[in-house]
Chains A and B, each alone.
Chain A
Amino acid sequence: MVVRELELDLDAFEGPFDLLLTLVLKEELDLAEVDVAGIVVAFVERLAERGELDLEACGEFLVLVAALLELKARGLFPDEEAELADLEPEEAAEELARRLAEYRRAKEAAAWLAERLEGEGDRFFRLGPAPLTPKVERRLADQEPESLAVALRLLAAEPPSVSLAHLELRFPPVSQFLERFRALLSRRRVFDLDAEVEGMSRIEQAVAFLALLELRRSGEVALEQAAPFAPIRVSRAEAVVERRDEWIARSA
């Protein structure tokens, strides 16, 4: 028999014992609401069903329930702990007996009420829509309407607009550079890209490079770079053709 798997059906909790323990330890379930006697009854019933005395399970259960009871007692009487610790055993017994008597009387009174209810169950009477409970008056201190207005005015103010400047990336159109490079090439046969884009932003330089690739694709320019990171030399396409002709002539 596994104590931790003991199924419980209490007012405050329904499920296996170990879940109850977990919830209590995580303080998600108020132990004060848990009927520990109900747990004991459930265990004893389970034990009786099995018909054999499982000493190991009993021992484990005893330890767990004792710990639960101690936790619960501490939770219920936080202030009285010190007070009770000072009591002599005899006084403590007296106190216990007094409390038991008090509780016993409350139970008897409840039994009397239950009996009374049974006897009076055939008395039907009219109840107004509102219960008879007298309204509890909760008086507020005198309030200034002006201070409410002040509070509202604070809330009603337009919030400052959030700056999105850091998110802004301006991409100049590629066409702008296409036109620029074509114009340049109509005046000069060759130019250095680095010299042309000097002083531009990183983004502008990138777009300029894209424009260059575009021109290369359409066969309008030839690109040359002597070494990695060396200046990129741009030349008009017919120049390349001419030079290739030269090369062909020379090699022939």
Chain B
Amino acid sequence: MDRPLRLITASPVDRLARTLEALLVVASQPLSAEDLAVAADDDVERIETALRLVADRFAEGRSGIVLEHVAGGWAFRASREAAEACGRLFERPVERGLSAPGLETLAIVAYLGPVSRPEIARIRGVAADSVVAGLLERGLIAEAGREDGAGGAIRYRTTPLFERVFGLESLSQLPRLDDLGESTDEIRTRLETVAERRPA
């Protein structure tokens, strides 16, 4: 009699884990536990248990495929040790040629979004039109309504793709702005120092 290879036990959670693997392998974007629950026709709690099992199987150093929690969901990606080989086959087009102005604009949208182009221009001191268009094209930001009032400027926010490219579980993983850069007080002090040094 033919005996199947019994590497994996056939417990109900195990069966669910295999269903999740199947769902994740056909998905082109991260799936939340809720998405998976609907597709697998099971409850979220059991899905989360099964996900831990899948995450254990598909972990760095154990498999060429790794399960990660990213952009508010779960997704498979290549293991980091295979990155070089993947890089020879594909490039990561989304971030190719992402310029310093692009990153600055992206940071403003990520932190202050939804935010309009005039607001971005005010903060950066340079018009944001072409940079915003570039980020839209890459799919890193998307339209998110308009400012109040008639003819209000279009506002933008970052997309799940942004979180995925930057390996963020969600925007809340961004460091607090207060932890970055100098405070207003420090800048004012420096301005005053420069002003005092200037001959009258």
Asked if A104 and B187 sit within 8 Å, CB to CB, the answer is yes
Asked if B28 and A123 sit within 8 Å, CB to CB, the answer is no
Determine the residue in chain B with the shortest Cβ distance to A100: B187
Contact of A123 among B77, B84, B181 (CB under 8 A): B77
Contact of B92 among A107, A124, A134 (CB under 8 A): A124
Quick one: given A113-B106, A116-B166, are A123 and B122 in contact (CB under 8 Å)?
A: no
Interface size class of B (residues with CB under 8 A): 35 or more
Contact of A110 among B104, B129, B175 (CB under 8 A): B104
C-alpha gap A123/B166 in the complex (Å): 9
Contacts of B180 in A (CB 8 A): 105, 108-109, 112
Contacts of A124 in B (CB 8 A): 77-78, 82-83, 86-87, 90, 92
Contact of B183 among A101, A111, A121 (CB under 8 A): A101
Contacts of A171 in B (CB 8 A): none
Contact of B98 among A103, A117, A125 (CB under 8 A): A117
Interface 0/1 of B71-105, CB less than 8 Å to A? 10001111010111011001010110011110110
Asked if B127 and A30 sit within 8 Å, CB to CB, the answer is yes
Interface size class of A (residues with CB under 8 A): 35 or more
Interface 0/1 of B137-166, CB less than 8 Å to A? 011001100000000000000011100111
Asked if B107 and A109 sit within 8 Å, CB to CB, the answer is yes
Asked if A33 and B127 sit within 8 Å, CB to CB, the answer is yes
Asked if B191 and A96 sit within 8 Å, CB to CB, the answer is yes
C-alpha gap A125/B110 in the complex (Å): 22
Contact of A103 among B75, B125, B165 (CB under 8 A): B125
Contacts of A132 in B (CB 8 A): 29, 71, 139, 159-161, 164
Asked if A125 and B76 sit within 8 Å, CB to CB, the answer is yes
Asked if B182 and A117 sit within 8 Å, CB to CB, the answer is no
Contacts of A114 in B (CB 8 A): 100, 103
CB distance from B27 to the nearest CB of A (A): 8
Contact of A131 among B77, B80, B161, B187 (CB under 8 A): B161
Asked if A125 and B187 sit within 8 Å, CB to CB, the answer is no
Interface 0/1 of A80-117, CB less than 8 Å to B? 00000000000001101111111111111111111011
Contacts of B78 in A (CB 8 A): 123-125
Asked if A125 and B191 sit within 8 Å, CB to CB, the answer is no
Chain A residues with CB under 8 Å of chain B are 11, 30, 32-33, 35, 76-77, 93-94, 96-114, 116-117, 119-134, 136
A–B pairs, 24, beta carbons within 8 Å: A32-B127, A33-B126, A33-B129, A94-B188, A96-B191, A101-B184, A104-B181, A104-B182, A106-B123, A108-B180, A108-B181, A109-B174, A109-B175, A110-B106, A121-B83, A123-B167, A124-B83, A125-B77, A126-B77, A127-B161, A129-B28, A132-B71, A132-B160, A133-B142
